[in-house]
Structure 1
Amino acid sequence: MEQPPNISAPGNTATDSYQALKTKLNKETAKINWQELQRHYASGAVIAVANGNDLIEVACQFSLDNKEAVEQWLTSGAMVKVDDQQAAQWFEQQATLWAVVVAPWVLVQEIVQPL
C-alpha cells in the first residue's frame, strides 16, 4: 500500500496533526460482530480493507479526503465495498471484525487468527 507523502520533519505542525489523527482513529477502532454492522452494510457504507494493509492508515487517508490514495486502493483491490457474497459469509461465520468509522463510511478488516 502506498504511504502518504513524507511529512515527518521534526517540529512539523502537519506531522503533529497527522499523528494526532492516527492516535484518535486508533482509539476509535474496535472489534465488532458483523451482525451489528448490518444496517451500515444495507446502506452501502461498509468498506473492507484487505489484510496486510494498515486499517488506521486507510482511515487517516479517508479522513484527509485523499481521493488519489483511496482510488488507488480501490483499483488495486486493497479495499473493496463489501458485496452480498462477503456479507453472507461473515453472517454465517458470525465474524468479528476490526472496524473504524470515518463518516459516512465504516472501514472493516478481518481479524487474522495466529497459527
Structure 2
Amino acid sequence: MSDNHTELLRAKINGETSRLPWKELQRFYAGGSVIVVNDTLDLVDVAVRIAQDDKNAVAQWMNDGLIARANDAQARAWLEADLSLWAVVVKPWILVQCEKMRNMH
C-alpha cells in the first residue's frame, strides 16, 4: 500500500479509537472477537497492520505474546475493576489495550 493510503488509514483508525467501559465490550468478548494488545505496542499501529492484512507482523506479535484473544481471567478482572479500555474496531475484531495510548498520531 502507498504511504499516502497508509497515513489515511492510520488517521481514520486513530479517529475511531476511544476509551470504553469493559462492561460495554463484554458481549463482543463472549463472541470471541476481543483481541488484547500489549501496552508496549501502539494500538493504532497494530490496528493498521491488521487492517492491511500484514500476516507477518501479526504472527510475530502473536508468537511474542504481544497480542492475543482476551481470556476469562482478564475479563473477570476488568469487570471487577470496572475498567475502561482503549478500543478500536478492525472487523471482525475489537482491539483493546489497558494502558493509555502513548502515541496519538
Tell whether 2:67 aligns with 1:97: no
Post-superposition CA distance 1:26-54 (Å, at most 9, x none): 00001000000011000100001001210
Q: Which residue type is aligned with residue 30 of structure 1?
A: S
What's the TM-score, normalizing by structure 1?
A: 0.84
Task: Give the gaps of 5 or more residues in structure 2.
Answer: 101-105
Kindly state the Cα deviation for residue 68 of structure 1 after the two structures are TM-superposed. 1.2
CA distance in 1, matches of 2:53, 2:45: 12
Distance in 2, matches of 1:111 and 1:50, equals 9
Map of 1:23 onto structure 2: 11
Deviation at 1:111, TM superposition (A): 2.7
1:67 matches 2:55: yes
Superposition RMSD in Å: 1.0
Deviation string 1:80-106 (CA, Å, 9 cap, x unpaired) is 110000000000000000000000000
**Which residue of the partner structure matches residue 55 of structure 1?**
43
Q: Secondary structure at the match of 1:57?
A: helix
Contact 1:29 1:99 (C-alpha < 8 Å) held by counterparts = yes
Equivalent-residue separation in structure 2 for 1:81 and 1:14 (angstroms)? 30
In the alignment, which residue of structure 2 is the partner of 1:85? 73
Unpaired stretches in structure 1, ≥5 consecutive residues = 1-12
Deviating above 4 A after TM superposition, structure 1's stretches of 4 or more consecutive aligned residues are: none
Number of residue pairs matched? Answer: 100
SS at match of 1:56: helix
8 Å contact 1:96–1:111 — kept in the other structure? no
Structure 1: distance between partners of 2:42 and 2:65: 14
Greater relative contact order (CA < 8 Å, ≥ 6 in sequence): 2
Percent of aligned pairs with the same amino acid: 43
